[in-house]
Amino acid sequence: MRAEYDRQLRELEEELFDMGSMCQQAVAFSGAVLIGDDETLREQVCSLEMEIDKKDRQIENICTGLLLRQTPVAGDLRFVSAALKIVSDMERIGDQAANIAELSRYISEKPLLEKVHISDICCVVMNMVTDSVEALVKKDEILARKVIGDDDIADELFVRIKEELVSLIQENRTEPQEILDLLMAAKYFERVGDHAVNIAEWVEFIVTGMHDDRECGH
């Protein structure tokens, strides 16, 4: 019985880490597609998004089985409970990456990208996702806190991008629809950063038993 319990916990960890790796790839590819308009990468983002959805369902089934049949306690219970929350954020990251890749089809004026800080927010958010997954793998509370702090940078970049795009509209420098599409892409990156923060906060919970400044049980 204990051997089966340990096996299921290991399986949960492995599947969760695999899903995190897929999210890292999806965000990296979506940024590359937006800047470079690579059709092959766009298709890979769509494929990854579908794989992430499948992984989400698999992990939820593993967690449900552990909670119903194995009754984990203490640190194991925190990990399984947090995993259910984390996969929801990872699934949303996959969705946002796919949205960015799809939007890239309609941003044909690539020089426009050089006039705003879109590559910067892409880089910051990509690092946030990578760090949140690494924090999860290593159960690294310090790295998790770094991700949470980096969200301010992503938010500031989004505000700057909005201001830059407004200026371009006022100057009649490009098509308004492309401006709106690029604004949506920036918003999707900002949301990916928010989901990375959520993952980091659940890593803190796994390590400390604390979430949202409240003690959640040990």
Alpha carbon distance 28, 210 (integer Å)? 31
Spatial contact of 93 and 141, defined as CB atoms under 8 Å apart: no
Instruction: Give the pLDDT mean for 112-129.
Output: 91
Mean pLDDT of the chain: 91
Measured CA distances, 69 to 29, 87, 218 (Å): 39, 21, 20
The CATH number for 142's domain is 1.20.58.220
Token code pair at residue 35: 């800047």
For residue 149, the enclosing domain spans: 2-215
When divided into structural domains, the chain yields a total of: 1
Alpha carbon distance 212, 200 (integer Å)? 12
> Higher pLDDT residue, 63 or 212?
63
E strand map for the chain: 210-211, 214-215
pTM of the prediction?
A: 0.92
Interhelix angle 39-65/74-103, nearest 10 degrees: 160
Write out pLDDT tens, residues 56-100: 999 999 999 999 988 888 889 999 999 999 999 999 999 999 999
Neighbours of 124 (CB within 10 A): 21
Does pLDDT of 37 surpass 80? no
DSSP 39-90: HHHHHHHHHHHHHHHHHHHHHHHHHHHIIIII---HHHHHHHHHHHHHHHHH
Does pLDDT of 212 surpass 70? no
Does pLDDT of 22 surpass 90? yes
| Amino acid 218: pLDDT | 37
End-to-end CA distance of the chain: 23
Write out pLDDT tens, residues 184-200: 999 999 999 999 999 99
Return the sign of the alpha-carbon dihedral for residues 137, 76, 16, 27: negative
Instruction: Give the pLDDT mean for 90-113.
Output: 88
Spatial contact of 23 and 90, defined as CB atoms under 8 Å apart: yes
Q: Which of 15, 32, 23 is nearest to 93 (CA)?
A: 23
